Structure 1
């Protein structure tokens, strides 16, 4: 079973995710495995004639009214969805008792191969994570290793969980941390629900980390990987494997440059990567099939704090200069008055 969490404006991407999952994840009878969308938004804001091709579970069905209001008042929309994620995953396990394993993917993900290899690799693990990068950057471009210490070693955009007592304990621990500490505040050592993932392989049993380059190709790791199209499929070569099948793409930051934690990255240049541009075109086509103004123009109902403003060009340069000037002034020695 696959679940995702998104706002109304992200529904076209969630539908593209569902289409790819339904195509490549089939049960023993040849039928698509279940796909559920957690709506981190108010369904009352959906267009009047809207019909979702996949089931929606609003977060208002997961949290009590007081908790929902408190979370919404505390966080911005990105943080709000992150604060809800562990509890939502636990709720899906409760509502679907036949689901023995649950795959979570952000709406930016697109599957490109059958999931057989994913389930086989998962085996009897309780949880599965994928790291952001698998090689030390060999240049001075950004993001660097230090920045991944801020956002987390593992990506919260793709995870798998097995129904077990250990997974229940893991989800309860994660929810306890994320619900109150899902802020994006690097100075305080916080980064949504994601930073907590780095403790999971230490605190919990049978948490697997997969470094295969064909898993989770994304903006942050494509600089260390190369893509090669073979007929209708893609192969990936990276630090931990050669000519591996590309199982799924994460288009966060590629489809919308303002999404994610790397809006000012300078390590991956699309102008120099025709392979990535071709794959991104495929992703855009999958999303455009579901595009509708009534969805993409709807502001999120929850997460009432403002999202950080992404600065580029002269605005970013000006802010950096002012911060440098402020540091200089703070360090100017004052004369001693006798």
Structure 2
């Protein structure tokens, strides 16, 4: 069976430790090349991961006619520029989240992608494809919690390294861009719609000048999603989906382990069911779904318009953090 030949831009840890190993187990993925601005780093990564080709520049990888698609795990500020370069080189692209630094930048990428309809471009929100989230959405769709009322999310870790790119504002660092994008995405995924307005509290670190604790209320019109994300709190993550007659609790919502079952709790009528989902690697699933879309010339699992819409919400939260008021989200956020 045909496989998509993937090339990877950079030796970023998310790629070498999570995404590449996952994709290498896929039925439709072949990771054929990796590039770094340092050839020695590229060769070392290629050797460790069993990748055939190593390049000492990103340009060289994009010029390789034997590469069909690019996985882009570069720092946030390099997502849009290099994804556009990959598209213009005739490559399909799976780009890490958040897709860009601003909604306008994401829209620019969407506009370029639309000029190349034969290519598939997708933001890498891997969690959506895991069986636990497919199950959670099915329960909500089937009325398993009654009418949805709210989603509550906590996502945090502790990182006080000033040299870490996640703590550098000019490169798109901070809690909201790094991990706050997840609870925004999941609420839109579960509610299957776009929010109207947001209210937020954003704490800016005096040293890093990035947000280290951000809390928000996202109003979908009668139902809400609330979350706190932090880069200077104890590591923890949990999601609660509350309805009129039941609830769902997702134990490890975002960093789902690839080697053990994930657990959902589904409560109705004071009875709690523990649902154990099959062992699955969300990076393998993501890679295969994207590759299958390329091979079949079918739509990507998540359209690029979704990435633009997510960025619109992120920007509204930042605006609310400054204004202290409810901030509306443009109705044409997914256009």
TM (norm. structure 1) is 0.33
Greater fraction strand = 2
Comparing both chains, which one has the higher relative contact order based on Cα–Cα distances under 8 Å and sequence gaps of 6 or more?
1
TM-score (norm 2): 0.33
Larger radius of gyration: 1
